[in-house]
Amino acid sequence: MTFQAISYQRSAISFLAAMALLSGCGGGEIRSKAASNAPTVSVQVAMVSSQEWPDQYEATGTVRAHTAAVLSSKVMAYVQQVAVQVGDHVREGQVLVTLESQDLDANVRRAEAAEAEVRSAIPEADNGIAGAKANLDLAQSTFRRMEELAAKKSISNQEFDEASARLKSAQAAYDMARAKRTQLDSRLAQVQQEIRGATIMRDYTRIAAPFAGLVTAKSVEPGNLATPGAPLLTMEREGAYRLEASVDESKLSSVKEGQAVEITLEAAGLDRHLNARVTEIVPAVDAASRAYIVKIDLPALPNLRSGMFGRAWFPLGTRKVFAVPASAVVEHGQLQSAFVVEDGVAGARLVTTGRRMQNLVEVLSGLSGGEKVVAPLPPGLADGARVEVRQ
């Protein structure tokens, strides 16, 4: 507690003690004499009025980003470089963490060498197909001639059978050459898949930002061993935030999706009321707190960050309150008081206040409807002072 607050409390205690003494034996006579000797103070008064104020339910919550990502490695490797710090703004695709990749580079080179070997065998296979096709064409021509001669009985059956065998042999050689070429194509497709797989694994050693945003947490340094699934960096997309408020289950019937609510964010530069809307009600209740999570979209603000504390006010209809002008209430440290005018005398009275609305303040205790209070308070007004009400 500060010295000023202690002084205020002491002043308030002294003030209350003086009031108690005045109200004790003979106190009224002393106060009346003091009041008669003091000059009359000209004041304005306002009546304690009963009003219908909108009723609200207050819920507290935490600001969260719409989109957040925890970056981790998909391979086990030592961290070679970390290119960002907490608070850095990054662009989409920017490399944030680099892992050692010697083994994965070797796998890529091995697959590329296998591809080169397969490609070098393709010309030989193509030449084999061309030679087998030429032999097949010759065998087919020879067979057709032998077939014509055999029909004329100009050649023996032995010569015809030899021509037929040469045709079959040439056809088999051609088919074999084509099958070898097909095998090379399959092998080429296989090694190309191996190259793509090895390249993808190697690319996992370069961890990039999935979107443009802000780095909010860092749990890795060069030389650390990155394991699959272990968090390395946390980042969030800027410009899209929401308040996740805890709403008691007894009040959930008054909350609807699309409902307009009032938000207050108690942070530097953001301590003001904002208009927002409910976008989602999580359909599950927390067993410990008996509360639902209600998500409220927030307008874009330059200093908004995840983790900030906020309050949301949900409208619940109206209720009757006693209200006085805020200028009628004076604060003594943690105590509040107002001056009630009765029979031309201003008497100090302790009050308890609640919500404020425009230039009015709700009175929870200390005043009754219809009473008149001094508002605004003139400087130097003392308890028991005689006053003249001016219009």
> In the structure encoding, which two tokens stand for residue 260, read together?
């307009």
**Residue 330, helix vs strand vs coil:** strand
CATH 2.40.420.20 residue ranges in the chain?
3-53+319-389
Residue pair 357/342 in contact (Cβ under 8 Å)? The answer is no
The separation between the first and the last C-alpha atoms of the chain, rounded to the nearest angstrom, is 42
In terms of Cα–Cα distance, which of 215, 218, 219 is closest to 235?
215
Q: What is the CA radius of gyration of the chain?
A: 45
CATH code of the region 59-66+237-317: 2.40.30.170
- What is the spatial distance between Cα 342 and Cα 349, in angstroms, rounded to a whole number? 12
Residue for token digits 């004790």?
24
CATH code of the region 102-203: 1.10.287.470
- What is the spatial distance between Cα 329 and Cα 351, in angstroms, rounded to a whole number? 8
- What is the spatial distance between Cα 10 and Cα 15, in angstroms, rounded to a whole number? 8
Structure confidence at residue 39 (pLDDT): 80
pLDDT in tens, 298-314: 888 877 888 889 999 88
Structure confidence at residue 77 (pLDDT): 93
pLDDT in tens, 337-373: 999 999 889 999 999 998 888 889 999 999 998 899 9
CATH 1.10.287.470 residue ranges in the chain?
102-203
CATH 2.40.30.170 residue ranges in the chain?
59-66+237-317
Q: H or E stretch including 181?
A: helix 157-203
Structure confidence at residue 10 (pLDDT): 43
CA distances from 364 to 314, 319, 324, 353, 367 (A): 21, 13, 11, 5, 8
Looking at domain 68-100+205-236, which of 3.50.50.60, 3.90.1260.10, 2.130.10.10, 2.40.50.100 is its CATH number?
Answer: 2.40.50.100
Q: What pTM was estimated for this model as a whole?
A: 0.58
Dihedral of alpha carbons 11, 17, 23, 25, sign: negative
Structure confidence at residue 17 (pLDDT): 42
Residue pair 341/378 in contact (Cβ under 8 Å)? The answer is no
Looking at domain 3-53+319-389, which of 2.30.22.10, 2.40.50.140, 3.10.129.10, 2.40.420.20 is its CATH number?
Answer: 2.40.420.20
In terms of Cα–Cα distance, which of 105, 106, 96 is closest to 226?
96
User: Which portions of the chain are predicted below pLDDT 70?
Assistant: 1-38, 268-272, 391
Q: H or E stretch including 341?
A: strand 335-342
In terms of Cα–Cα distance, which of 126, 222, 221, 136 is closest to 180?
126
CATH 2.40.50.100 residue ranges in the chain?
68-100+205-236
> Strand pairing of 41-43 and 385-389?
parallel
